[in-house]
Amino acid sequence: MKKILVLSAFLLPIMGIAQNSSADTKAVDQKVDELIASWNNHDYSDMANYATEDCDWVNIKGMWWKGRKEVEYAHQVYHQTIFKTTTLKKNSATIRFITKDVAIVHLSWRTGAFTTPSGNQMPEGDDLATLVYVKKSGKWLLTAAENVNVVEASQKNNPVLKMPKS
């Protein structure tokens, strides 16, 4: 009986952490889905529901938007113009917790075709975003993001593909 009590003292906290981690993973993934829903609805007026007031975003062309007002405004401008009919599809999201209140998400998504402001026709393609979420008052919120274009032709030259296996 004593062994069971001692074992329980060690296992119960671990089980509790696993449950919290699963709930947090689900909560962060839900916030990612809210971001994607804003894109597909072409309406970012709900950004306060999933982003901190001081969040920032580096877009695919290196524009750095600082604060939720700028991030929301810039996205909304592009969704009234070049992305007004473009959809976004989540390929995958990998969530890694840095601390109990900070999560990094690597989000692979597929962007539909669109026309750039200079008139170039862009085919649909894959992008990779790094999103940083923080837990504030029990709610996960986006605080930083950077998006890059995945250049398919360059992928075969990734040196990691030739890295020795140990």
**CATH number of the CATH domain containing 32:** 3.10.450.50
Q: Give the bridge partners for 95, in sequence order.
A: 105
Residue 166 domain-assigned (yes or no): no
Domain count, the chain: 1
pLDDT for the residue 15: 41
Query: Is residue 65 a contact partner of residue 51, using CB atoms and an 8 Å limit?
Result: no
Residue 109 domain-assigned (yes or no): yes
Residue 54 domain-assigned (yes or no): yes
Domain of residue 102: give its range: 24-154
Report the length, in residues, of the chain: 166
Residue 34 domain-assigned (yes or no): yes
Residue 16 domain-assigned (yes or no): no
pLDDT for the residue 99: 96
pLDDT for the residue 2: 54
**Structural Rg of the chain based on CA atoms:** 20
Residue 12 domain-assigned (yes or no): no
Q: Is residue 76 helix, strand or coil?
A: helix
Going residue by residue through the chain, which has 166 residues, state the pLDDT in tens, using 9 for 90 and above: 455 444 444 444 444 444 458 999 999 999 999 999 999 999 999 999 999 999 999 999 999 999 999 999 999 999 999 999 999 999 999 999 999 999 999 999 999 999 999 999 999 999 999 999 999 999 999 999 999 998 888 888 888 888 998 8
What single-letter DSSP state applies at residue 93? Answer: E
**Measured over all CA atoms, what is the biggest interatomic distance in the chain, rounded to whole angstroms?**
75
Query: Is residue 147 a contact partner of residue 39, using CB atoms and an 8 Å limit?
Result: no
Residue 163 domain-assigned (yes or no): no
Can you give 12-63 as a three-state secondary structure string?
HHHHHHHHHHHHHHHHHHHHHHHHHHHHHHCCCCCHHHCEEEEEEEECCCCC
The pTM (predicted TM-score) of the whole model is 0.84
The string of pLDDT tens digits covering residues 4-47 is 444 444 444 444 444 458 999 999 999 999 999 999 999 999 99
Residue 15 domain-assigned (yes or no): no
